Chains A and B, each alone.
Chain A
Amino acid sequence: MGDIELIAASGAETAAKIANGEVSADEVLDFWLQRASGDALNGYLWSADRESARDGVDPDGGAIAGVPLAIKDIFCTEGVPTTAASKILGGYIPPYTATSVRNTRAAGLPMLGKTNMDEFAMGSSNENSAYGPSLNPWDTDRVPGGSSGGSAAVVAGGLAPWALGTDTGGSIRQPAGFCGIVGLKPTYGAISRFGMIAFASSLDQCGPLTRDVTDAALLLDVLQGRDDYDSTSVGIDGDVKAPTAERLDGLTFGVPRGLMSEGIEAGVLARFEETLIRIAELGGEIVDIELPHAGHAISAYYVLAPAEASTNLQRYDGVRYGLRASDEDLLAMYEVTREDGFGPEVKRRIMLGTYALSSGFYDAYYGRAQRVRTRIVEDFDRAFGKVDFVVTPTSPTVAFKLGEKTADPWTMYLSDIFTVPISLAGIPAISIPAGLAEPDGGGPELPVGFQIAAPAFAEQKLIEASFALEQAIGFDGSAGLAGGVR
């Protein structure tokens, strides 16, 4: 069979080819290992060989067995380096494997490699990786988004059929949007966080980055479930099924126009409005809604997430694993190790979070932000009393140029303006490609993401609606697939 067919095939299609004997699981693995070895996007921080790819994998794992998976380097993998793209974990080899990764191995998915990311998942462009940024396969002068930028780049660039990522404030959806693929952030608690290196524990959630909605459903089914090792995991009731919906009759889609008043590129807005028309053509109803406090989400998030991060990252102290940069005395060991081991954005967030939690400031920052979070949760509750879904562009812009937003942290933070409110509410959301658009001021046509959010644990309904819309849009990602290798 032709290589081109395998590059363009979704996970489900590849699994079907294996099942009907068109190609063997060995051939599929060799093909993708070969592709990954040609990585021109700095998408992989570590690549597997045949043997390590199959470690712990059940070859009879089920319907999707044999389709290799790229895994964000934030998931602990026993015996395989895991860095979270930080110098402080350079050379770290975990003694155990994340539950989500174990679940994909039990389903028969070999591991292709560990993907690049923003250090400790803090960033929206992948430029905060200690190992250099991953690049966007549609235009290698541009960022793939972040923090799961490597996972998005390798799936969009034809270096992996599908990937795992994590999303704290948009880290699956935004890079999926920038790279023209599908990214699903499940409800907080749907998937175990055990073995996922912690950034902001009340927000972090694992999810799939895939070529299409069907693949997102198949991976979610494998990943979700309660785990004894994560007491906040609850799973989703019943199996997640591959979607079949063709129409959107009887479904209402809320548009929070108030949140979309400024800063959206013309091309992004045009694709968004076209997608609303498609929804109507499929029988769905478009309704304007208010999310009165969503405009404060970025401010609340940049208190809550750094505060949680500052405590989670206390563990990197040079004692038990990772870097130790000084042996002068105990305090120097802590301070020099952390100074040398963490990059600028991670230090910025540790400082911000420590300040927000420090004596005298707790109520004014952390306490207040937690209460604003309640307001945002209430906004969505009210909206879902009226509509089935909330829709926005995934990001206000298409993929920006490397270096374009690094000078001012707040400008970078604003690229998550539509994804962060959903993260604070803990509800599921998906980004699907809605077409291509030029950036403001001109440039190559680049993917635009369309975000759909649903009430907590309504993943199946979200996947069905996204599937119907995806079929109607008929996005062509082949230009991206060609961009992954030299």
Chain B
Amino acid sequence: MIEREQVLHVARLSRLRLSEEEIDTLTGELSSVLDHVDKLAEVDLEGVEPTSHVVPLENVLRSDEPRPSLDREVALSQAPDPHDGAFRVPSPQAEA
């Protein structure tokens, strides 16, 4: 089960401005999915280590030498609001 308040909290963490309708729908849907997921508690995990990566790998290193990378112009070519060689964003002021 997940409460509407938790959905609002997670939406803020996720940076999603959900509509009222979406909040209602997601409260039901997430609860239902989590009910299924909660069955994982049935598995005996005594002494079991987590798996984050399935292929055995040592640290992968390369020599620290300068290499060509994207030109600034190219990196900015898809920006919604490029300005003066940088990514321009609206002011964070109004947040306060």
Chain A residues near B (Cβ < 8 Å)? 92-96, 187-189, 202, 228, 231-232, 234, 293, 296, 298-300, 302-303, 310, 314, 317-324, 326-336, 338-339, 342, 344, 347-348, 350-352, 354-355, 358, 365, 367-375, 377, 408-410, 424-426, 456
**Separation in Å of the A179 CB from the closest CB of chain B?**
28
A373 to B45 alpha-carbon distance, docked (Å): 10
**Contact in complex: A339, B41 (CB < 8 Å):** no
| B-chain residues with CB within 8 Å of residue A95 when the two chains form the complex | 70, 74-75, 77-78
- With most chain B CB atoms within 10 A of its CB, the pick from A314, A317, A330 is A330
**Contact in complex: B36, A299 (CB < 8 Å):** yes
| A-chain residues with CB within 8 Å of residue B65 when the two chains form the complex | none
A95 to B32 alpha-carbon distance, docked (Å): 41
**Contact in complex: A333, B40 (CB < 8 Å):** no
**Contact in complex: B50, A367 (CB < 8 Å):** yes
**Contact in complex: A347, B37 (CB < 8 Å):** no
A426 to B54 alpha-carbon distance, docked (Å): 6
Chain A, residue nearest B6 (CB): A355
B64 within 8 A of A: no
| A-chain residues with CB within 8 Å of residue B91 when the two chains form the complex | 329-330
Count how many pairs of residues, one from A and one from B, have CB atoms less than 8 Å apart in the complex.
179
A321 to B33 alpha-carbon distance, docked (Å): 32
**Contact in complex: A232, B30 (CB < 8 Å):** no
**Contact in complex: A410, B50 (CB < 8 Å):** no
A232 to B70 alpha-carbon distance, docked (Å): 22
Given A330-B95, A335-B17, A351-B11, 9 extra CB contacts under 8 A: A330-B91, A331-B95, A333-B90, A336-B17, A347-B16, A348-B29, A351-B14, A375-B43, A409-B33
A232 to B10 alpha-carbon distance, docked (Å): 31
- Contact for B94 among A314, A328, A358, CB less than 8 A: A328
**Separation in Å of the A310 CB from the closest CB of chain B?**
7
| A-chain residues with CB within 8 Å of residue B53 when the two chains form the complex | 202, 232
Chain B, residue nearest A231 (CB): B60
**Separation in Å of the A306 CB from the closest CB of chain B?**
9
A320 to B92 alpha-carbon distance, docked (Å): 17
Write the B3-46 contact mask toward A (1 if CB under 8 angstroms, else 0).
00011011101111111001000100110111011011111010
- Contact for A354 among B14, B19, B29, CB less than 8 A: B14
**Contact in complex: A456, B60 (CB < 8 Å):** no
A338 to B84 alpha-carbon distance, docked (Å): 26
**Contact in complex: A234, B10 (CB < 8 Å):** no
| A-chain residues with CB within 8 Å of residue B40 when the two chains form the complex | 296, 299-300, 303, 368-369, 372
**Contact in complex: A318, B80 (CB < 8 Å):** yes
Instruction: Check A188/B78 contact, CB under 8 A, given A231-B60, A352-B33, A371-B50.
Output: no
Write the B56-96 contact mask toward A (1 if CB under 8 angstroms, else 0).
01001010000000100011011111000001011111110
